[in-house]
A and B are shown apart, each in its own frame.
Chain A
Amino acid sequence: MAPPITRCPRPPPRLPQRSGQPSRGGAGQWVPREVAAAGRPLRRGRAAERGAGRRGGARRTMAAATAAAAPGRGRRGAPMYSKELTSKKRDEFEDILEERRLSSDLRYAMKCYTPVIYKGLSPCKPNAIKSAVLQSEQVQYVIKQLAKEMGESSDIIQEEAMEILDEMGHNMQLGAVRFFAFTLSKIFKQLFQRVCVNEEGMQRLQHAIQEHPVVLLPSHRSYVDFLMLSYLLYTYDLALPVIAAGIDFLGMKIVGELLRRAGAFFMRRSFGGNRLYWAVFAEYVKMMLRNGYAPVEFFLEGTRSRTAKTLPPKFGLLSIVMEPFFKREVFDTYLVPISISYERILEESLYAYELLGVPKPKESTSGLLKARRILSDNFGTIHIYVGQPVSLRTLASGRINRCPYNLVPRHLPQKPSEDIQEFVSDVAYKMELLQIENMVLSPWVLVAAVLLQNLPAMDFELLIEKTLWLKGLTQTFGGFIEWPDNLCAKKAVMSGLTLHSNIARLVDGHVVLNDKGVEDGAVGEIVFKHALAILMCATYRNQLLNVFVRPSLVAIALQMTRSFRKEEVYNCFSFLRDVFSDEFIFFPGISLKDFEEGCFLLTKCDAIQTNQQEIYPTNKGSVIISFLSTMFRPFVEGYQLIFRYLAKEAKEAFTEKQFIPGVRNFVFQLLEKGNTQCYEALSSDMQKNALAALVQLGAAKKKKMSNGFTYNVNQEAINKILDMFDARIPVQKPVAARL
């Protein structure tokens, strides 16, 4: 029923009436939203027109966003991963910088900006939102409660709430937006070759924004993410989002304020215990969402992933934005997964230093100015894939017990029930998996993965051959590779090497890591430099891991068990999945499905054959199996090193601050002595994940103390896990059964 949206060769004049308010009262033919929206094409100026002219009508049309999220999908037990991965249709990309390079940035920044808006929107100013939040029943209730408990006058607490709001609130102003539109155009053109966007995704988003409140959920790899989406939405004449940012940005003079005016609002890093803060913050976010004031944007991962692997989701903000739907204050809410992939990450070396324990520089304006030298560098292409908006209502249908929300006044703070928590967590993982699905993988990612398996040096021709081979495998596994049709492998690899000349280089027909200064200096320094190079390179390989993790864990399980019995392999798989549950993204509770998915993909690439009870590697499969397990070896070995450290050296109780340097020294010494080659075990990210895994497996206990968390490990349990890794004892069922 949804009319197809076709691209007009030339944007027709704006509809006379605002498309925000079609067919009141439900009367009339199906004019509603879709048609009204379709009547208005996505606008992006001249380049869009040219693009349309170039491709003609070849572009396929797209059903409206409502057709999103097939019912039942995403519910526990429903298929999480598409079986037809390679045949998956993905939208095509358009470069939005192309137009910027051809026309005036100033005119662009001053263009007429009148975005489509939510149909139920009643426009209001940022300050009006703040005072509405302050006066809301929700906040007033908590204020009164606190006043009673603390014996203070509620005026004082109200004052406090006002301060919180002032610290937090955004102050979106068109002037600042235009300023950013101008400067970002300049900066992006300097930094990046292209910024590519799937325009169909933008169209779906345009419909979604008018229909229901929208939550934008981008991946987070770089600070660039912050303003990239706003820039994009401005370019396409869509409502600008309000963005949840860490409070650290406020430390930056001027920039913090500028961000605020561009729509950022600031949240403290942790405020679980502060009821007033929680109430004010939650109500602030919900108020903006309910009124359809603007799309709300935040990062599920909570922080930039330093490793380019997707981080496990944080649930706090997600559960806040879902609440208005649970309480039926809105009819539905759209969650839009957005994948932003960088060919070269701006902060790559900073991240590597940070992972090795050199602290992250504090956000400061002077730091930002110092960083301007990177402007002379080339950071390749950014791909932004705006996913299909997912209807929260569809996800929730049949899963939510409505009773708890009906029996308590809606303004009272209510701890979410267990099934709500579980649901929120499922949705969070689902969204991250959708992000991963549409992450664009550059040829360089494949090069990095091959190279890391062939250190210290690799023949260039062989590298090209292996890269091509890996390209095929990645596509079989559903990876989204952006490899232009006519680009020959050699050129692709070469251009990757050129772009990443700081990581690897070509020397005498061999490709080597670019660890300058390794030759001279002390042993320790050599190790550090080498680790730096490897971690930087690994950042790119890591982008493949979530695509490869399921078949790879099956491959590793096959090698570890040295058995063909499906059950044993599954038990081992399940064990590994548990151990790596913080390292990679798995949808909770569907271990068996993940296993089947892994087996299916391995069968698809002819690496294994299976029947009811058994799994056999095929003759030609051994190459794939060994490649896959080598790909993940740094994790298997790294975890073992970390576990070994904990089993032997860990004190009675320790904090994370004690643990990280301890285990780093331990690994460092092993590396110096040449007892291991696992440089990645130096990564603080892996170390934290390994510790978290032990907590989840019950081999360590995490306790909240006044000065943060302390850990207690159970040596015996860790030794048992280590034995399982070494296949000295078979993986026992109880571990698997715990799922």
Chain B
Amino acid sequence: MAAAAEEAAGSGGGGSPSSARRRLRIISGHLRSSPRAPEREALSLSPCKAQGGSTGPASGSIPRKRQELLKWNGWGYNDSKFIFNKKGQAEFTGKRYRLGGMVLPTFKEWMEKTFGASLDHKTTSRATLNVNDVPPSIVKEEFLQDLRATKISYSQDAEDRVFRAHGHCLHEIFILREGMFKRVPDIVVWPVCHEDVVKIVELACKHNLCIIPFGGGTSVSSALECPEEEKRTIVSLDTSQMNRILWIDEKNLTACVEAGIVGQDLENQLAESGFCTGHEPDSMEFSSLGGWVATRASGMKKTIYGNIEDMVIHIKMVTPRGIVEKNCQVPRMSTGPDIHHFIMGSEGTLGVVTEVTIKIRPVPEYQKYGSVVFPNFERGVACLREVAKQRCAPASIRLVDNAQFQFGHALKPQVASIFTSFLDGLKKFYITKFKGFDPNILCVATLLFEGDREKVLQHEKQVYDIATKFGGLAAGEDNGQRGYMLTFVIAYLRDLGLDYYVIGESFETSVPWDRVLDLCRNVKERIARECKEKGVQFAPLSTCRVTQTYDAGACVYFYFAFNYRGISDPIHVYEQIERAAREEILANGGSLSHHHGVGKLRKRWMKESISDVGLGMLRSVKEYVDPNNIFGNKNLL
């Protein structure tokens, strides 16, 4: 189950579930009654916090002890997961998501059919972290003394350190379940404001330490892994406590926000003033603003709001050389190459992003989901291309292939009444029998429209008219909504898969329009072939969706998962196949990454991607900004 841990610092082809806002409300409600309130009080009493004229309450969703709220060896919240209940039916626990508490009657069959997985063959993760296995924390006393003097909170606790030693790549989760990282941070620090970060970086320079910034921890590029050969003390700089909105400027529609804020808090708090950023990567519950900036993130509603590079007005970053920022907050300037572009995508190799001024928009008046069924994937892509050409893409438009359509079906909850199931049957009959769509070929586009009511309806009609030209049939709001839900629960599914010998992951690329079909077909075929060659017993699930449209191309997102029973070293096999798939993408004219970033996972292709000279340019920036490699996470270069 393709675990799609979306990029750490954010990113993601997409989205929030049905009603993102409802979810946010639930979460914020949960937080208001949180017993951790006093601690937060204490934090906000610190002098640093007091200075910043913060608007609204400075409450972060993610506690210092992440494991209290989040799984330590999997994705997302402790209380939310897929299980097989006593009747052997799949069920999603918890109350955070719309799917919570619902039974998914067809899921088990789908899983057995797709992966040849069986409930009888189970693997189990270790129940808790074995603290004795964790590499010891080696920190010099002089540094600790200096650190204590700054009053910045820190921890050398084994759990704290391990939970900041990884992102959500498959191999990282596998290690958590069954092994131990060779290298983890020696100490975790929690700065609460920009000044704290300045002090930490100064100390790191003074004592020659290695800093690895940590935001939401949702990286899927091995970006958070500690380089094994790093001999210096590794300081994990957790930005989660720098999470206030410092100010909102309604005249210019901008907000200045501390970089540690996670997506849901940002949207939640802005919503209280009637605003939003509109940046919604799939990981938005957990990924942080600073992480988005550091990886060049993309949100599912980028058609309206833009990608992170379009949203950012001003960035403050602390580097070993000092602070880098622009002198004004303007929409555009011609002052040589944009220094923001050195920062965005730097993946923590240059410094720590502390404060970001970001564009905000009034919360849209009206939202509407939609979906269109196409007779086949080719027609679907042609339709998306036409939509892009006419520049009338809705807030989000995604095209899932047949395998993913069937996957979505498997996640359909038990229907409440006979009437609904009758209606479903009727719909199915109409599409497959009356319209002659082959249920094993057809594919679905999901849509999300946003804006004022009248315009949305107008826009909707325009898009459906285009779709009709390509043989598309409107398939209702409900299907659209479920499509978006699928993309965030899919990350939870990987954990379930891992329990039943199924491993998987997602990866993404961007590609010119004319190569979309060839790329999708060839990459899937390559995966199937590689699996076969590597001795995978069952055909893998390899499925894709087009998640973003641009003028000149599209972003394509792949899920890939297989049953690894009978393979002695599944992770190695998995990595070989993923590598082959990436080779295939590059050979088909796709990019190394659209929004997940490079990290350490995709470094080997950097030279090919940006040329020798290009790589040299980036290196020279790194050498100037950070000559002693304080930010030594070894990403990117």
The list of the 9 closest CB pairs from A to B, nearest first, reads: A25-B403, A406-B589, A25-B402, A328-B588, A402-B587, A24-B440, A331-B525, A331-B522, A27-B114
The interface residues of chain A lying within 8 Å CB-to-CB of B586 are 402, 406
With beta carbons under 8 angstroms apart, the residue of B538, B588, B608 that contacts A30 is: B538
Nearest-neighbour CB distance to chain B for A446, whole angstroms, equals 43
Q: Are B440 and A26 in contact (CB under 8 A)?
A: no
Look across to chain B and name the residue whose beta carbon is closest to the beta carbon of A32.
Answer: B539
Residue with the greatest number of chain B CB neighbours at <10 A, chosen from A27, A331, A409: A27
**Residues A1-46 near B (CB distance < 8 A):** 1, 23-32
Q: Does A405 lie at the interface of the complex (its beta carbon under 8 Å from any beta carbon of B)?
A: yes
Give me 22 A-to-B residue pairs in the complex whose CB atoms sit less than 8 angstroms apart, sorted by A's number: A1-B532, A24-B441, A25-B401, A25-B402, A25-B403, A26-B527, A26-B541, A26-B542, A26-B543, A27-B113, A27-B403, A27-B406, A28-B113, A28-B114, A30-B532, A32-B539, A328-B515, A328-B519, A328-B522, A328-B588, A328-B589, A410-B514
A28–B542 alpha-carbon span in the complex (Å): 11
Report whether B524 and A26 are in contact in the complex, using a CB–CB cutoff of 8 Å. Answer: yes
A25 close to B587 (CB less than 8 A): no
Chain A CB within 8 A of B135 CB: no
Contact A25 B532 (CB under 8 A): no
Q: Which of B508-567 contact A (CB under 8 A)?
A: 514-515, 518-519, 521-522, 524-528, 532, 535, 538-543
| Residues in B whose Cβ lies below 8 Å from that of A409 | 514
Besides the contacts A27-B403, A328-B519, what 6 more A-B pairs have beta carbons closer than 8 Å? Answer: A26-B528, A26-B541, A32-B539, A328-B589, A402-B586, A402-B587
CA distance A329 to B540 in the complex (A): 23
B136 part of interface (Cβ distance < 8 Å):
no
Which of B514, B515, B539 is in CB contact (< 8 Å) with A27?
B539
Query: Cβ of A402: which chain B residues have Cβ within 8 Å of it?
Result: 586-587, 589
User: Quick one: closest B residue to A407, CB to CB?
Assistant: B589
CB neighbours of A403 from chain B (8 A): 608
**Is B116 part of the binding interface, using a Cβ–Cβ cutoff of 8 Å?**
yes
Residues of A within 8 A of B441 (CB): 24
Query: Which residues of B in the span 386-419 have a Cβ within 8 Å of any Cβ on A?
Result: 401-403, 406
> Closest CB-CB distance, A496 to chain B, in whole Å?
47
The distance in angstroms between the C-alpha atoms of A520 and B113, with both chains bound, is: 86
Residues of B within 8 A of A24 (CB): 402, 440-441
A328/B587 in contact, CB under 8 A: yes
Q: Which residues of B contact A30 (CB under 8 A)?
A: 532, 538-539
Contacts of B402 in A (CB 8 A): 24-25
Please report the C-alpha to C-alpha distance between residue A1 and residue B538 in the assembled complex, in whole angstroms: 11
Inter-chain CA distance A402–B592, complex, in Å, is: 14
Give the shortest distance, in Å, between B534 (CB) and chain A (any CB): 11
Using A328-B519, A329-B518 as known contacts, say yes or no to A25 and B116 having CB atoms under 8 A apart: no
**Cα separation A405 to B515 with both chains bound (whole Å):** 11
1/0 per position for A548-564, CB-CB distance to B under 8 A?
00000000000000000
Chain A residues 577-614 with CB under 8 Å of chain B are none
Q: Find the residue from A30, A32, A328, A402 having the highest chain B CB count within 10 A.
A: A328
Residues of chain B in range 435-494 having any CB-CB distance to chain A below 8 Å: 440-441
Please report the C-alpha to C-alpha distance between residue A405 and residue B541 in the assembled complex, in whole angstroms: 29
Q: Is the CB of A26 within 8 A of B539?
A: yes
B587-627 toward A: CB 8 Å interface, digit per residue (1/0)? Answer: 11100000000000000000010000000000000000000
- Bound Cα distance from A32 to B521, whole angstroms: 15
A164 to chain B, nearest CB (A): 26
Q: Find residues 288-332 in chain A having any chain B CB closer than 8 Å to their own CB.
A: 328-329, 331
| Chain A minimum-CB-distance residue to B608 | A403
Q: How far is the CA of A507 from the CA of B533 in the complex (A)?
A: 63
The residue in chain B whose Cβ has the minimal distance to the Cβ of A1 is B532
Q: Which B residue's beta carbon lies closest to that of A27?
A: B114
Interface residues on B, range: 20 to 34
Q: Which residues of A are at the interface with B, using a C-beta cutoff of 8 A?
A: 1, 23-32, 328-329, 331, 402-403, 405-406, 409-410
Give the chain A neighbours of B532 by CB distance below 8 A. 1, 30
B115 to chain A, nearest CB (A): 9
Contact residues of B between 343 and 379, Cβ < 8 Å to A: none
Tell me, in angstroms, the Cα distance from A24 to B543 when the chains sit together: 11
A405 CA / B526 CA spacing, docked (Å): 19
Q: Is the CB of B589 within 8 A of A25?
A: no
Task: With CB as the reference atom, state the residue of chain B lying closest to A401.
Answer: B608
In the complex, A109→B464 CA distance in Å? 52
- Cα A32 to Cα B608 with chains together (Å): 35
Q: Find chain A residues with CB under 8 A from B527 CB.
A: 26
Q: Which residue of A lies closest to B560 (CB)?
A: A26
Cβ–Cβ < 8 Å partners of A331 in chain B: 521-522, 525-526
A-side contacts of B515, CB under 8 Å: 328, 410
With contacts A328-B515, A328-B589, A406-B589 taken as known, whether A26 is within 8 angstroms of B540 at the C-beta atoms is yes
Distance A30 CA – B588 CA, assembled complex (angstroms): 26
Docked pose: A24 CA to B405 CA in angstroms:
12
A333 to chain B, nearest CB (A): 13
Whether A25 lies near B543 (C-beta < 8 A) is yes
Contacts of A28 in B (CB 8 A): 113-114, 539
Q: A354 → chain B, closest Cβ, in Å?
A: 46
Whole-angstrom CA separation of A584 from B527 in the bound complex: 41
Q: B543: which A residues are within 8 A, CB to CB?
A: 25-26
Instruction: Find the A residue at minimum CB distance from B591.
Output: A406
List of B residues within 8 angstroms of A27 by Cβ: 113-114, 403, 406, 539, 541
Give CA–CA (A231, B139) in the complex, Å: 81
B residues near A32, Cβ cutoff 8 Å? 528, 539
List B contacts of A29 (CB < 8 A).
116, 538-539
Proximity string of chain B (159-178) to chain A, C-beta cutoff 8 Å, 1 when within and 0 when not: 00000000000000000000
Q: Which B residues touch A410, using CB under 8 A?
A: 514-515
In the bound complex, CA of A530 to CA of B589 (Å): 62
Q: How far is the CA of A29 from the CA of B403 in the complex (A)?
A: 14
Question: Across the interface, which residues of B come within 8 angstroms of A1, CB to CB?
Answer: 532, 535
Q: How far is the CA of A23 from the CA of B522 in the complex (A)?
A: 16
Within the complex, what minimum Cβ distance (angstroms) separates A414 from chain B? 14
The smallest beta-carbon distance between A200 and chain B, in angstroms, is 22
Question: In the complex, A405 Cα to B514 Cα: how many Å?
Answer: 13
Complex CA gap A31/B440 in Å reads: 15
Write the nearest CB–CB distance from A124 to chain B, whole angstroms.
15
A468 to B612, CA, bound (A): 63
Residues of A within 8 A of B403 (CB): 25-27
Across the interface, do B589 and A405 meet the contact criterion of CB distance under 8 Å?
A: yes
Closest Cβ of chain A to B553, distance in Å, is 12
Q: Closest CB of chain B to A62's CB: distance in Å?
A: 18
In the complex, which residues of chain A have a beta carbon less than 8 angstroms from the beta carbon of B538?
Answer: 29-30
Minimum CB–CB distance from A386 to chain B (whole Å) comes to: 23
How many Å from the CB of A66 to the closest CB on chain B?
8
CA distance A539 to B441 in the complex (A): 56
Among B441, B532, B535, B539, max chain A CB count under 10 A is at: B539
Specify the chain A residue showing the minimal Cβ separation from B584.
A328
In the docked arrangement, what's the CA distance between A328 and B521, Å? 10
Report the minimum CB–CB distance from B194 to chain A (whole Å): 42
Residues in A with CB closer than 8 Å to B608 are: 403
Within the assembled complex, what's the spacing in Å between the Cα atoms of A402 and B522? 15
A52 to B: closest C-beta gap in Å: 30
Nearest Cβ on chain A to B53's Cβ, whole angstroms? 51
Q: Shortest Cβ distance from B490 into chain A, in angstroms?
A: 16
- Which residues on the A side are within 8 Å of B406 (C-beta)? 25, 27
Q: Which chain A residues lie closer than 8 Å to B589 at the CB level?
A: 328, 402, 405-406
Q: CA of A329 to CA of B515 in the docked complex: distance in angstroms?
A: 8
Q: How far, in whole Å, are A241 and B619 apart by their CA atoms in the complex? A: 55
Bound-complex Cα distance A661 to B527 (A): 60
C-alpha gap A405/B588 in the complex (Å): 9
A402–B515 CA distance with the chains assembled, in angstroms: 14
Shortest Cβ distance from A402 into B: residue = B587
CA distance A328 to B519 in the complex (A): 8
Distance A329 CA – B518 CA, assembled complex (angstroms) = 6
B526 — which chain A residues lie within 8 A by C-beta?
Answer: 331
A residues in contact with B587, CB < 8 Å = 328, 402
Using CB atoms, name the residue of chain A closest to B540: A26
Q: Please indicate the chain B residues that have their CB under 8 angstroms from the CB of A23 in the complex.
A: 539
